[in-house]
Amino acid sequence: MKNILVTGGAGFIGSAFVRRMVSKHPEYTIVVFDKMTYAGNTDNLLPVSQSGNFRLVQCDIADREAVRSAFDSYGIDTVVNFAAETHVDRSILSPDAFIYSNVVGVHILLESAQKHGIERFLHVSTDEVYGDIEGDHFSVEDDPFKPNSPYAASKAGGDLMVRA
Ligand SMILES: NC(=O)c1ccc[n+]([C@@H]2O[C@H](COP(=O)([O-])OP(=O)(O)OC[C@H]3O[C@@H](n4cnc5c(N)ncnc54)[C@H](O)[C@@H]3O)[C@@H](O)[C@H]2O)c1
């Protein structure tokens, strides 16, 4: 039995992943762990909210004690990290929240996962870390990072913590 912690699971992409996993994989328990910022929306999760293999915990990935408690309470063995501040324009106006969630939050989640012997940690990045792409080119994973906004820089910082 896999118990999967899906951070940011009430957001746009995370909730699509959760809806699919809950309905197609009843053998897994899906625990959504989300701070419910302006971007989190429980309506995204309504189609699966009554399912026996679905749980929702409102918490912050940068809150060490809350992460530890979720890992223990639900016997988590797998983490999928979608949680992030994601809006480029907001990051230019007010970058603090981006550093907090996308760098410090990722660090705390990783550190907690390591302590709890989590089997698999899947971290979601963004092509924004590679900067502007010319013409019809596309980026590959080992291209150099050239972030052009606090959002992209904070995602690159979190990615580097995952790599390290
Ligand atoms: N949407 C895109 O086009 C796109 C493209 C490439 C990569 N991504 C990446 O995919 C992931 C999901 O993107 P999205 O568009 O679904 O984002 P979103 O903004 O719709 O959702 C983010 C979710 O994370 C939650 N969250 C934010 N800070 C948190 C914290 N500290 N602790 C717990 N939860 C927190 C929010 O409440 C929200 O539910 C992000 O990591 C993003 O960088 C998104």
Contact 139, 130 (CB under 8 A): yes
- 36 in contact with ligand 1, CB cutoff 6 A: yes
Q: What is the four-CA torsion angle of 14, 19, 21, 23, rounded to 10 degrees?
A: 180
Q: Facing residues of 56 across strands?
A: 32
Q: Is the CB of 14 under 6 A from ligand 1?
A: yes
Cα dist from 68 to 38, 76, 132, whole Å: 25, 10, 38
CA distance 28 to 6: 12
Across residues 76-84, what is the average pLDDT?
98
Higher pLDDT, residue 1 or 163? 163
The radius of gyration of the chain from alpha carbons, rounded to an integer in Å, stands at: 16
Q: Is the pLDDT of residue 156 over 80?
A: yes
Q: Which CATH architecture has domain 2-163?
A: 3-Layer(aba) Sandwich (3.40)
Report the residue among 13, 57, 59 best suited for mutation to probe ligand 1: largest number of ligand atoms under 8 A from its CB: 13
Q: Quick one: CA dihedral 149, 155, 161, 164, positive or negative?
A: negative
Task: Please indicate whether residue 130, judged by its CB atom, sits closer than 6 Å to ligand 1.
Answer: no
- Name the residue of 17, 37, 149 whose CB sits within 8 Å of the most ligand 1 atoms, as the mutation to test its pocket: 37
- Fill in the DSSP letter of residue 129: G
Please list, in sequence order, all residues whose beta carbon lies within 8 angstroms of the beta carbon of residue 141, skipping any fewer than 6 positions away: none
Mean pLDDT of the chain: 97
Q: Is pLDDT of 137 > 90?
A: no
Q: Where are the domains of the chain?
A: 2-163
% the chain with pLDDT above 90? 95
Determine the average pLDDT of the residues in 121-141.
93
Which tens digit of pLDDT belongs to each residue from 52-78?
999 999 999 999 999 999 999 999 999
Judge whether residue 32 has pLDDT over 80. yes
Active-site residue 60, yes or no?
Answer: no
Question: For ligand 1, atom 25, which residue shows the shortest CA distance?
Answer: 8
Residue-wise pLDDT for 142-153, tens only, equals 999 999 999 999
Q: Which candidate in 34, 85, 128, 159 is catalytic?
A: 128
pLDDT of residue 84: 98
Atom of ligand 1 nearest to the CA of 87: 19
127, 134, 136, 143: the active-site residue: 127
Q: Is the pTM of this model over 0.85?
A: yes
34 is catalytic: no
Is the pLDDT at 1 greater than 80? The verdict is: no
Is residue 63 part of the annotated active site? The answer reads no
Whole-number pLDDT of residue 135: 85
